[in-house]
Amino acid sequence: MKVNWKAVSPLVLGAIILLCPMPAGLSPQAWHFFALFVTVISALILEPIPAAAIGLIGVTFAAGLMMVPAKPGDPASTADGLRFALSGFSNGTVWLIFTAYMFSLGYEKTGLGKRISLLLIKALGKKTLGLGYAVALADLAVAPFTPSNTARSGGIIFPIIKNIPPLYGSTPEEGPRKIGAYVMWTAMATTCVTSSMFLTGLAPNLLALEILQKTSKISVSWTEWFMAMAPACIILFLLVPWLVYVLYPPTVKESADAPKWAGEELVRMGSISRKELTMGGLAILALLLWIFGGKQFDATTVALIGLCLMVITNVITWEDVITQKNAWNVLVWFATLVAMADGLAKVGFLTWFAKFAAASMSGFSIGALIIGFVLLFFFVHYMFASLTAHTTALLPVVLATAATVPDMPMKTLALLLCGTLGLMGILTPYATGPSPIYYGCGYISRKEYWILGTVFGLIFIGVYLAVGYPYLMAARP
């Protein structure tokens, strides 16, 4: 009988931790939960079963064994266990992510996302470099409204741009470097930048903010996030199509037929529909309320208002909502991961780890520590196949460690850490949701993908720190 090592490995790792001598100063309760947490996170990385099921099993196991008390050091009760298991499902961020999937559905169902992409290609697609910028702008146009970069890039952008390379005899089998590889890598790299640029451009950004609030009592608004990321991300956004053109050049420099093809597709679509106009209006309304309505409306309330209005105006139907398995799956997944991350704080593990780590950090300057934390947080993503798992596993620990350093500007560090979540999606073929889509399309070979991921990862983090670090340090109160 063949052993499923992906299923067995997390259990073995958790058992090894339990059998190891418990560190001094750590309670058995915290050590046992840490072993469970490592088991869940390693299972999320390997995914022997769906991620949502792994999270649900983890919180259920913790609840059943009463592993998480209401306060660190207190004995846990059955009521505490149940509250812990269900705590993530009452979290506003989790429902914000869910409703964002409904916005993505509205773009897709009305055809507005496709129309925006085609208009940009028609306007800017004559030259291959111009086509690269058209692809980038198409992603930018929908990024603020779509926290799922998989839905945005994989569900809207990729289905459009995959039709372009064959017009020039560029297929995965014949001439992939003519234009196809350039277009695909530009789209992939761009969505990583826009995922960091906007708070609502990547689901783990929202999860990260929830962790910031729970572990460090730090709150960040939509506008604060954008203003913090804008200097570095705008530079990267403007550079990406050109950088790909230089570092991974297409052999076909002209794409004269792309505007014609886009125009023909627009003719087939016909004039803009009432539903497209309605969806556009609702998206603009949500964006304005997210930016300017923070004092009157919570971000989740805005998203729920948008969802209700989409159903009322028949942009989407309630049947559409209840049949979106991916959205409900993500809701369960994120709810359980939020609870698991919160559990580390409730059992006292983060406090212990922070004290232990702080003892070995004396002698370093604040600037060196900040840059070191960010680089470690970014490049350790090579070991993760999920930005959500990465965020859940590492962000609370890094924040807790940094909080023990005297005079550490915690909000600046938190913003720098969280801003890397989208950018690190460039590193590997499994780093983020769209990665397997662009890798699997066949235009970019395995060797090229790994090399490009490393090169662009170094460029991304280099520009991000060179611009973002001094900017945020200068802007802090």
29, pLDDT greater than 60: yes
**Closest to 321 in 3D by CA, of 306, 302, 336:** 306
Q: Both 17 and 100 in a single domain?
A: no
Q: Is residue 470 part of a domain?
A: no
User: Where is average pLDDT lowest: 14-28, 109-123, 363-377, 438-452?
Assistant: 109-123
b/e burial code for range 437-456 (CB count within 10 A of at least 16 → b): bbbebebbeeebbeebbeeb
Given 276, 304, 326, the domain boundary residue is 326
Q: Both 199 and 52 in a single domain?
A: no
Q: Is residue 417 part of a domain?
A: no
Give the pLDDT confidence of 112-136 residue by residue, as tens digits: 877 877 887 788 778 889 889 988 9
Q: Is residue 308 part of a domain?
A: yes
Q: Is residue 267 part of a domain?
A: yes
Determine the average pLDDT of the residues in 273-297.
83
**Amino acid type, 273:** S
Q: Is residue 42 part of a domain?
A: yes
Q: Is residue 112 part of a domain?
A: yes
Given 90, 105, 130, the domain boundary residue is 90
Count structural domains, the chain.
Answer: 2
**Closest to 167 in 3D by CA, of 262, 270, 268, 269:** 262
Give the pLDDT confidence of 59-107 residue by residue, as tens digits: 999 898 888 887 766 777 888 888 888 988 888 778 877 887 788 788 8
Phi, psi dihedral angles at 191 (to 5 degrees): -65, -25
**Closest to 93 in 3D by CA, of 214, 198, 191:** 214
Measured between alpha carbons, how far is 303 from 320 in angstroms, rounded to an integer? 17
**Closest to 206 in 3D by CA, of 94, 287, 124:** 94
Q: Both 184 and 105 in a single domain?
A: yes
Q: Is residue 106 part of a domain?
A: yes
Q: Is residue 271 part of a domain?
A: yes
Q: Which residues face 127 on adjacent strands?
A: 254
Given 45, 69, 90, the domain boundary residue is 90
Q: Both 32 and 152 in a single domain?
A: no
Q: What range does the domain containing 191 cover?
A: 92-326
| Predicted model pTM | 0.72
**DSSP category for residue 74:** S
Q: Both 227 and 143 in a single domain?
A: yes
Q: Crossing angle, helix 349-358 and helix 325-346, to 10 degrees?
A: 60
Give the pLDDT confidence of 76-87 residue by residue, as tens digits: 788 888 888 898
Q: Both 81 and 103 in a single domain?
A: no
Q: Both 218 and 97 in a single domain?
A: yes
